[in-house]
Amino acid sequence: MSNTVHQRLRFTRSIVPGHIGLTFGLFLLFGFAILALAGGTSNLPPPEKMDLLSRLAGPSERHLLGTDHLGRDLLSRLLAAIPVSLGAALKTMAAILAIALPWGLIAGLAGGRTDMVMMRLADIVMAFPTLVLALAVIGFMGASLEASIIGVAVAWWPSNARLIRALVLSANERDFVKASYLAGASRRRVIFRHVLPQILPPLAVIVSLETASVLLALSSLSFLGIGAQPPMPEWGAMLNEARPFLRMPPIC
């Protein structure tokens, strides 16, 4: 087992008893959901509405955070980008788990040659830098938010698969799991009654923490112009659009 996996396991076990990471992550998700709903029910202008006469305007009663280079309300676009950016991160994590969870479970439970082959395949994918592999997938599919989600998921799942395998190996060594096998319980019953309940709590904490990293990766790709495409409001794409005007003062 690699040092990285050992470090992540120790970090996870140190915070799992109080569920601090999970609670804080859910609190942030709840806060972002409230902001997204507030943006949809407020009297703000539509995020795509352009007003060229008010382009690059400073904060005012009409536009609390000012406008961008096309006269679109920045506060409206920031709030409209919450479900886009956060939703993309959650979809990416769901895709990562859809690959990593069965992969890690099978490798950890099967052992032997199956485990070795599956982990070597994961190591091959991990040998490529995450963003480089994501860029290769996006280049093949074409620049879009959907391609970014698939690219990041393809590059991100091996590390999570190795972590899940480590959790499964640890759970499989518990005395009550061994006793279940000796009592004649089927492999399926042991997995669903004993192994999964042990690995899901730390896995939930890891997901809540890694969602932020996935969100940054997706926003970075959009900032480079190969993720979300205009006029879709997305945090990384909005930074890329504003970059040429960062040194300019607002137009009064």
Query: How do residues 170-189 score in pLDDT, each as one tens digit?
Result: 888 787 777 877 777 777 77
- Is 0.85 topped by the overall pTM? no
Distance CA 153, CA 151 (A): 5
Q: Is 16 exposed, middle or buried (0-12, 13-18, 19+ CB in 10 A)?
A: middle
Q: What per-residue confidence (pLDDT) applies to 98?
A: 93
Q: Say which amino acid occupies 101.
A: L
State the average pLDDT for the chain.
Answer: 82
Q: What are phi and psi of 67, to 5 degrees?
A: -130, 165
Distance CA 250, CA 252 (A): 6
- Alpha helix (H) residue ranges in 143-245: 145-172, 175-182, 187-190, 196-223, 235-242
Q: What per-residue confidence (pLDDT) applies to 38?
A: 66
pLDDT, tens digit (0-9, with 9 covering 90-100), for 45-101: 888 888 888 888 888 888 888 888 888 988 889 888 888 888 899 899 999 999 999
Q: What per-residue confidence (pLDDT) applies to 15?
A: 44
Lowest model confidence (mean pLDDT) among 39-43, 180-184, 240-244: 39-43
